[in-house]
Structure 1
């Protein structure tokens, strides 16, 4: 076996199982989410809405210190719009197919950590965790599905030669 046979191969996710597949739906649904959420990050309404998540996050709280509430939201907006762009370009370029999916997966891995750091996720009137509040608990839970979609797209974009679907 040569060195080249062990290397990962990047491909457009939709090409992994034929010219049209479920990955088309996943890609473009993620694009809509990132365009919409990313665009909203440039409004004060959204900046205030995500402020409690950022303030309590061990990974992101520094954004408020460096950029303020509005600036932190805008930094996240730029990252989300960049993720949307990578996902869009990824429909045509293998590298960006993997990059966009990886950026998306990282986004949802980070937001799912908010379960551990954001006050009010557990619902005390229902017995506490695992009962979760409508907001922010159920709001955050949707990110589990978005993470799964991102990981499916990433898996379809990065293949080892010789592996079967």
Structure 2
């Protein structure tokens, strides 16, 4: 008899695959990005820079009404720094390996929705979509790679649990 708790055994992503260095490279690159971008959210420059993305997002626009432009940036900064902390701890604790990767994946899933909601993504002078503007189109498109890195870490963190989940 298998309990639900035994079905989901988490592990540190770098320990789940043959190449420690490739998963570690993804983890630490994401840590740098979340530390840097998270820290920038505490500046007026960054708050104003992300404001159009937030304002046009059906998922996140309510944050501006609740916290204002700078307050929203602070909230996002705290979430991004928390994601960095979870990714760092995830190099040592399996639960944080999965949590940090999931938080990172959620971040990039949300930012990729901006691709659909932010005006100016399609480049009108080049005929419109699929031609995308440098800003904000190409700026947002890079998040596809960051999502893939996040999902790679997440899958490596829970990869060992899937065969156990099938044994019930």
CA shift for structure 1 position 8: 1.8
SS in 2 for 1:119: coil
In structure 1, the gaps of 5 or more residues are: none
Pairs within 5 Å for 1:1-165: 2-4=1-3, 7-18=7-18, 20-159=20-159, 160=161, 162=163
CA shift for structure 1 position 17: 1.5
Q: In 2, Cα distance between the equivalents of 1:105 and 1:161?
A: 19
CA shift for structure 1 position 31: 0.1
Q: Which moved more, 1:115-124 or 1:19-28?
A: 19-28
What are the superposed Cα offsets for residues 98-157 of structure 1, whole Å, 9 maximum, x if unpaired? 000000000000000001110000001111001000000000000000000000000000
In structure 2, the gaps of 5 or more residues are: none
Q: In 1, Cα distance between the equivalents of 2:3 and 2:27?
A: 29
Give the TM-score taking structure 1 as reference length. Answer: 0.94
Q: In 1, Cα distance between the equivalents of 2:18 and 2:103?
A: 24
* Number of aligned positions between the proteins: 162
The runs of at least 4 aligned residues of structure 1 exceeding 3 Å deviation read none
Give the TM-score taking structure 2 as reference length. Answer: 0.93
